[in-house]
Structure 1
């Protein structure tokens, strides 16, 4: 069996989160969709037949896909002797998604799952296509690409017996994270190799928790992967998951649904947020109901607001589109490689692009590759060569090799985000 994870035309709605990563690599409630697909592939390889995950994504991310995730694109021709599982890369990476995809496979019949977005349009979310139905499809237009052929076969077998959810906009990641966090950490405990250190606290080897920790697991368990270090005098509240080699600094308060990637440094007060790998927020300051990409650094005293003074539902803007989120709590969405100076204040529901630098109060969305200091009357361009040099210094601090594909990504993201800067009224280069 083959598993083909594909990005569709709506993936761009998830920017800035997906500027630097395929949609299947978004972390939500401690899992990426890729993690679940690899679990499915492993389970279906036990029968003796090899099962591989393949990625069909935006061209400029193909080198990152191979280097960071070890995935290849699908073949240009469909194999007629293999079943295929098609998976939209925007699917929410939840236990429910995993179980539904597993049911599709076990049913053993061609079936498509079509969803409805927040409007009235339908979207192709997943399908299982049998080798037999592929073999019978010789009459299809030879000009169709393999994905189009598979979707066309599946569209004749739409099923209402399955339910799947997909991310439509970046704030959906925060909302889904809160909805699915408990299920995800409980799955980890049940299926992972963890030792119960104390009631509700599950760890892998190398974990240290400093003295005088205040641990609360009535709302959900706390799960730490290898070599997580927690300093003394920390407040920890579940559900909470931390990837390997992460450091929680002394006097931190990490509470109510936080997912930390690997090799993160975290401090201050953090609540209900997703923080991707290699990001630093190690000083005092509040972060709540937010999503931070990788290689971000928040300066000391940086805080965000996640609640309006009116306690009303929060609206958010993506480009020139304003929409109601239906969420009372929503902080910020920050793209990879962006950074804040000391005492930066980020207003409720703000979206910050990739590779930008923030100073003062962030009262509006920030495009990518911008020095944002409106408080001081200054907003200027951050050229890609500056960010490539900054990337080299960051990587060296973490003993990570800077590869050509990393440098190429910085340039590619700059080129792709030019329209963000052109359409922003706040810029004066």
Structure 2
């Protein structure tokens, strides 16, 4: 098999900001796994990334004499994998919208080069391509189901030993090694429930599938999980959560509502933080677009909060319907916050917003990471510095 390189489509990368300021597209989590993890499992191989230069030290590319470049926003399925296995050198696969899905070539290639000289075939089957930030939570339920089938196909679930936990449709509930569940209700009648290794479901939690919780994450006492929600690894989540994706290492440990939202890594939502996900007039939600620097129509009735990595919200913070918070933002204060808060901002709508000094933001980021036993090194510092400089004109 050729080396697999997951490339960032330059247009999609901008449409997926602020989440792609700090990661390649393929490192986005949708369903149980990140897109890159899905491809590794589907193809039974390791992958590498073709991304922005400042990200490449942390997410390097491994390009051999016979690489297969796959769009990093594309989620695998059996039909696509079959088509990719048929690709000959100097051939490619495009969507019916003329989006580049894959290119196999014996020369150096990137998406900016286009597909001149490549023998193209059009893929007309089922397709899940993450084109916009709201696609992440919109596609999440279906991706949980797809990942669940792949992950559990050749494995057996551990039994639930707690006598006070009640399960509906237990055949669609999978428990990994070390997970603990106490006095909770798990309802998998409308979709599977996946409990990752060493996860802890505390007393009184109510869970409706499709749902996934990653390694060593915790659901606090009395948490209400509504369908199509993913909690990535090493998170702590409480309150009421509906159709949300937490990438990993982020906390919403207290009461408060979060709906139709995407939360990056190393974020924290203070106690009683709430978001609106439905407008009072029931009109379609518009969301800040980094591609047009204006509001984009999502076409959705329900759309909540998109938050980039290392951002934090103070207690009782209120987010409007369709809010976007950039990277390393410290937002707090009374009233609803602005619908777009640029990266490295400090303050809130009522108090006013100033620039978050880079050195202070860096110290907080290092402490946030190191206290979890994870190394914050030079690559991570360079990424944040680059984002700070790239986003200065937004503040």
Common fold by TM > 0.5: yes
Kindly name which structure, 1 or 2, has the bigger radius of gyration based on alpha carbons. 1
Q: Please give the per-residue CA displacement for 1:367-386, whole angstroms capped at 9, x wherever unaligned.
A: 0000131123x211102111
1:364 counterpart residue number: 339
Q: Does 1:237 align with 2:237?
A: no
Aligned match of 1:424: none
Residue 271 of structure 2 is aligned to residue 300 of structure 1: yes
1:261 match: 232
Deviations 1:289-340 (A, max 9, x none): 1000000000000001111112232122225322221111111100000100
Aligned with 2:77 (options 83, 86, 98): 98
Q: Which runs of 5+ in 2 are unaligned?
A: 161-166
SS at match of 2:299: strand
Deviation at 1:217, TM superposition (A): 1.4
The number of residues matched between the two structures is: 379
Aligned partners of 2:130 and 2:136 also within 8 Å? yes
| Structure 1 position 4 matched with structure 2 position 2 | no
Q: CA RMSD in A?
A: 2.3
* 1:358 to partner: Cα distance: 1.2
2 CA distance for matches of 1:160 and 1:216? Answer: 37
How do 1:109-258 and structure 2 match up within 5 A? 109=88, 111-115=91-95, 122-128=98-104, 134=106, 145-147=108-110, 152=115, 155-197=118-160, 199=170, 200-211=172-183, 213-258=184-229
Shift of 1:112: 2.4
- Residue of structure 1 in register with 2:164 after alignment: none
SS of equivalent to 2:153: helix
Alpha-carbon deviations, 1:218-265, whole Å to 9, x = none? 111211111001111111111111111001110111121111111001
Q: Deviations over 1:347-378 (max 9, x none)?
A: 101111010011132132110000131123x2
Contact 1:56 1:74 in 2 (8 A): no
Q: Which moved more, 1:337-346 or 1:304-313?
A: 304-313
Please point out which of 295, 314, 323 is paired with 2:296: 323
Aligned to 1:337, the other structure's residue is in SS state coil
Equivalent pair of 1:55/1:74 in contact (CA under 8 Å): no
Return closer, same or farther for 1:150/1:374 CA change in 2, 3 Å cut-off.
closer
Q: Confirm whether residue 384 of structure 1 aligns to residue 358 of structure 2.
A: yes
- My pick for the range that moved more, 10-19 or 169-178, is 169-178
Normalising to structure 1: TM-score of the pair? Answer: 0.82
Give the structure 2 partner of residue 29 of structure 1: 31
Structure 1: runs of 5 or more not aligned: 43-50, 66-70, 135-143, 422-429
170 and 154 in structure 1: CA distance in 2 versus 1, 3 angstrom threshold: farther
Structure 2 residue aligned with 1:68:
none
The answer on whether the counterparts of 1:224 and 1:241 sit within 8 Å (CA) in structure 2 is: yes
